Structure formats: structure tokens, C-alpha cells
Amino acid sequence: MELSLFIIWGAYFIGLYFTLFWLLVFLDKGAQDSPQKVLPNHPLVTVIIPAYNEAESIAKTIESVLHLHYPRDRLQIIAVDHGSTDNTGYLMDAYAPRGVIVLHIQRTSRDRKGVAVNAGLSHARGSFVACLDADSYIEPDALHKMLPHFANPAVAAVVPRMFALGTSTLMKKIQWVEYIVTFLYKKLMAHVDCLHVTPGPFTVYRKSFLNKVGNFDPYNLVEDMDMALRLQRHQLKIIQTHDAIVTTETPTTWIEFYRQRNRWYKGGFYNVLKNKDMLFNSKYGEFGLLQMPMMIGSALLSLTVFTIIYYQQIFQPLYHKLLDWYYTGFPFTLSLTTFLQNLHYLDVNYSRLFFIYFVVVIGLVFIITAFRVGNIRLFSKGIRIPVYYFALYPLLIFIIWCGVVKDLLFGRKQTW
């Protein structure tokens, strides 16, 4: 009891501190892109599209690259079929006449996406390399918005703004909000050099730096996070843009979502362990001091706080009430009238109410700010969608972390 109280207060303090910290970063720096010098000419850019069984979206992905507003002769497009068992490879071959280089590589059971990207990299001639997941589509003006950031010689990667595509299912609706909120969070992280992921959907890298940090880890569960961590380790800069937009397909069902996040979180956990020397290391600035601990901390907070809150505030009282009702023959009307008669304003714990209220308000402020920053009306897809997100998202994250802990303890194998 005392321990759980201590954990709750500690979690509250840390959670509040971090949220306020990020809001302060926002007040200080905003979320717009800083004006950049235009690159004088069109550097050669290589776009690598790794794919494993993406027949449904691969054509649309390649088309989106072909429609980039960029001189076609300054653009090298490499599509990598990583041993797909559907007709992804066949669909890719159809683009060979239009100048797309198509690679077909074998796939071993240990392989992750990094193998496919590295295969593409070995053929890349551009001084900049963009990776594009085969379920994502890039907006035509993206390169124009992104490349100028490389005028700063320390910049190793530029990340576009990601949008979740479609709101057909509840899961997609929640992710639609999630991606908008996450963007603000990432933009703020980037302001203080804290980005920990360079996502598969169209992160543009400076190729020399990719080579410098040793290209992608072929066996990493989340190779894009591993890459970001390595760039951070080499003190290289990652920029999050506001104006370049990529849309991505999101899991449709709960179980697909669970599998995706389970891989992300588990991979994230391994990657933090792998780089544990960066934890609390001020050599890595806010990234070491704030971001690395938070990646582990948020998992712990989510797990402990929700276990305690769900158990103490929901499960236990409900169980007790049902038990008592069972022993007293379910006197519903009688309990209700006595409850109403006994109601007294001093019975409410206003202190606790204030703490809960404050967290809710600050959470709402963050969400509303994220929508404003994204120039999207909060209720543009209906009032219910943000409400679903607010009500269900913390619970979903909790469930996923429970699964991750279970897998870590019982050592379940992970597939791509």
C-alpha cells in the first residue's frame, strides 16, 4: 500500500515534469521549420524501397516516388524485393522500364529489414539516401522541403511529418490521432537533439554519415531506431520537418497493431540496453539525460501506474461492491437511496481530484496544441475520434507493455 502510493506520486511527478518540460520547449521554439538556405543545385538522391510481401501497396509507393517534383535524372530509385512470397517482386519488375532499379535478394530467417536497405545502399550513387517503407507514400514536394536542411554540415538525417492513412476502423482512428500527437512530440524532441527514431517512411540520410556509422543493422528488430541511436552516439544531427509529408498505412485490426507495437517496444528496449552507456550521460546532452531514461521510464511508468490504478481504483472496488451486493441480495434501490441521502460535499477528496484534473487538462492541452500545429481541426473527423484516443490509448499502451514483458520473460521469438 505505502509502496504503491510512493510509486504513484513518483510517476505523477516524473510524468508532469516531462510534460511541462516539453511544453516549455514548445513555448520557446514553436513547431514550425526554421527557414533554410536553398540548396544551389539538385544533388543526386537515391530512394531505397525495401519490401517484404507488400503487393497491396508497393505500386502506389513506387508511383509516389516517381511523382516527386525532382529532376528525374537526379533521382535514383532502388526497389528491393526481400524474398517476398507474394507477387511484390513481379509488381516491382513492372517499373524497371521506367528506370527503377529492382533487386531481388534471398531472405534468411534471421534477416530483418536492415538487410534489404543495406543491399540497396550498396548500389546507391546519391550523396543523399531516402528510405521509404513499401506501405508509405511520399508527397511530391517533400525533397524540396527536406534537402535544404542538409546545408548544415552536421545534419545526418531529415525526418518528414508522418500521417496515418485512413480512419476506417477504430484502431486506425486511434492511430490517426496518435500520429498527429506524436509529430508534435517529435518536433519538440528534435529541437533539443533528442530524436530517437528515424522512421522507415522517407527519412533522408546523408550517405557519407550512413557509411560512417556502419550502415543499417541487418538483424535489429527496429533498425530505424537503432540507426537514430547510432547517429546520436556519433553526435550527428537529426531534423524533424514540419512541411514535408509522408502518409503511411497503419494496422487495421487490434491484433495487427499489437504485433507492430510489440516489435517496436521490444526492439526499443533491446536498443536502449545495447546503448546503456548513454543513459544519464551528459556527453549526449538532453538525449542522454532526458530521452534515454524516458524510453525505459515510460514503460515502467505505464506498467506500474496502470497496474496500481486499474487494480486499486477499478478492479478491487468493483469486486468488493459485487461481493457485498451478493451477500446482501442485490439491494440496488436501497443502496442507491442511502447513497444519495448520505452524499456530502466533504466526502470528495478534492486534493486527489485536483491532481487528476490537472493531468487531464495538461494532456488535453498537448493534444489540442498538436492538432493546431498540424493545421488540422480537432474534430474534423468527428468528435468521437479524439475521445476514443484519449480514453483508450493509455490502456492500449499498457496492454502492449504487458505483452512485451511477458515475451521478454518467456523469450518469445520475433518475426518481421
Give the separation between CA 416 and CA 411, rounded to whole angstroms: 16
Q: Could you say which residues in the range 194-213 bind other proteins, by CB under 8 A?
A: none
Q: For 105, phi and psi rounded to 5 degrees?
A: -120, 155
Q: Which residue has the cell 482512428?
A: 173
Q: Which residue has the cell 534477416?
A: 111
Q: Which of 173, 186, 191, 196 binds other proteins (CB under 8 A)?
A: 191
**Residue 95: closest CA among 73, 64, 128, 126:** 64
Minimum Å gap between C-beta 276 and other proteins is 19
Neighbours of 97 (CB within 10 A): 7
Q: Give per-residue burial for 132-160: e unless 16+ CB within 10 Å, then b.
A: bbbbbbbbeebbbbbbbbbeeeebbbbbb
406 near other proteins, rule: CB under 8 A: no
Give the separation between CA 35 and CA 12, rounded to whole angstroms: 37
Q: Which helix (H) or strand (E) holds 163?
A: strand 155-165
Q: Which residue lies nearer to other proteins by CB, 26 or 179?
A: 26
Q: Which residue lies nearer to other proteins by CB, 20 or 318?
A: 20
Q: Could you say which residues in the range 361-390 bind other proteins, by CB under 8 A?
A: none
Piece of the chain touching other proteins by CB under 8 A; list 177-185, 264-272, 339-347, 365-373: 339-347
158 near other proteins, rule: CB under 8 A: no
33 near other proteins, rule: CB under 8 A: no
Q: Which residue lies nearer to other proteins by CB, 113 or 206?
A: 206
The alpha carbon of residue 151 and the mean position of all alpha carbons in its chain are separated, in whole angstroms, by 27
Minimum Å gap between C-beta 400 and other proteins is 27
Q: Which of 6, 10, 20, 310 binds other proteins (CB under 8 A)?
A: 20
Piece of the chain touching other proteins by CB under 8 A; list 142-150, 169-177, 349-357, 379-387: 349-357
Concatenate the DSSP letters of all residues of 172-218 into one string. Answer: HHHHHHHHHHHHHHHHHHHHTT------TEEEEEEHHHHHHTTS--T
Piece of the chain touching other proteins by CB under 8 A; list 186-194, 215-223, 252-260, 297-305: 186-194
285 near other proteins, rule: CB under 8 A: yes
Return the C-alpha cell found at 110. Answer: 534471421
Concatenate the DSSP letters of all residues of 88-112 into one string. Answer: HHHHHHTTGGGTEEEEEE---TT--
Return the C-alpha cell found at 255. Answer: 491484433
Minimum Å gap between C-beta 3 and other proteins is 13
Minimum Å gap between C-beta 283 and other proteins is 9
Q: Which residue lies nearer to other proteins by CB, 124 or 190?
A: 190
Q: Give per-residue burial for 258-297: e unless 16+ CB within 10 Å, then b.
A: bbebbbbbbbbbbbbeebeebbeeeebebbbbbbbbbbee
Give the separation between CA 227 and CA 210, rounded to whole angstroms: 8
332 near other proteins, rule: CB under 8 A: no
Piece of the chain touching other proteins by CB under 8 A; list 82-90, 159-167, 336-344, 404-412: 336-344
Give the separation between CA 382 and CA 366, rounded to whole angstroms: 19
339 near other proteins, rule: CB under 8 A: no
**Site mask for other proteins (CB under 8 A), range 135-154, x = bound:** -------------------x
Q: Which of 4, 8, 21, 407 binds other proteins (CB under 8 A)?
A: 21
Minimum Å gap between C-beta 355 and other proteins is 5
Per-residue CA distances from 267 to 39, 228, 290, 295, 399 (Å):
36, 13, 19, 11, 17
Q: Which residue lies nearer to other proteins by CB, 56 or 324?
A: 324
Q: Which of 284, 389, 398, 401 binds other proteins (CB under 8 A)?
A: 284
Q: Which residue lies nearer to other proteins by CB, 255 or 353?
A: 353
Neighbours of 375 (CB within 10 A): 7
Q: Which residue lies nearer to other proteins by CB, 333 or 415?
A: 333
Return the C-alpha cell found at 125. Answer: 550513387
Q: Which of 106, 109, 351, 375 binds other proteins (CB under 8 A)?
A: 351
350 near other proteins, rule: CB under 8 A: yes
The alpha carbon of residue 310 and the mean position of all alpha carbons in its chain are separated, in whole angstroms, by 25
Q: Which residues partner with 159 through β-bridges?
A: 240
Q: Could you say which residues in the range 55-94 bind other proteins, by CB under 8 A?
A: none
13 near other proteins, rule: CB under 8 A: yes
Binding site for other proteins (CB under 8 A): 13, 16-17, 20-21, 24-25, 28, 154, 191-193, 235-237, 282, 284-287, 289, 320, 323-324, 327-329, 331, 334-335, 338, 342, 344, 346-347, 349-352, 354-355, 358
